[in-house]
Amino acid sequence: MEYKGYLKVKGETQRVTEKFSKRTFVLTDNAASYPQNIEFQLTQKNCDILNNFNIGDELMVTFNLKGREWKNQSGEVKYFNTLDSFRIKKESEGNFENNNVRQVQPQQQMDDLPF
């Protein structure tokens, strides 16, 4: 699958476990009325792909849609989806204007979350 949008949020690489790293980023379509802000994920060696791009760049992202089931400690089942990116191509450079764009810092990992 592919999606084209402007890089709005560029996260830092997070080391989830000793053997697993991930990095999230957000693309927006910059629509005037109802902009869509879509979060994607890079994993493992692909985390460094995002280093080549800047906030505001128009990007084409190639990704796989992944889903998983998770049961919490009380037995409640939840479902999660991930847009797992593996290729990013620059379409244009720096033509997105929004004061809300930001670099995000890694969040602390909570023990009971499945990711």
pLDDT at 92: 74
**CB under 8 Å to 30, separation ≥6 — which residues?**
5, 6, 96, 98
**CB under 8 Å to 47, separation ≥6 — which residues?**
13, 21, 22, 23
CATH superfamily of 2-104: Nucleic acid-binding proteins (2.40.50.140)
Which amino acid belongs to residue 93?
E
Strands (E), the chain: 2-11, 14-17, 20-28, 37-43, 58-71, 77-92, 102-104
Task: Give the pair of three-digit tokens for residue 30.
Answer: 């910059």
pLDDT at 108: 47
Which amino acid belongs to residue 55?
I
Q: pLDDT of the chain along its 115 residues, tens only?
A: 999 999 999 999 999 999 999 999 999 998 888 999 999 999 999 999 999 999 999 999 999 999 999 999 999 999 999 999 999 999 876 655 554 444 444 454 445 555 5
**CB under 8 Å to 95, separation ≥6 — which residues?**
6, 56, 58
pLDDT at 87: 95
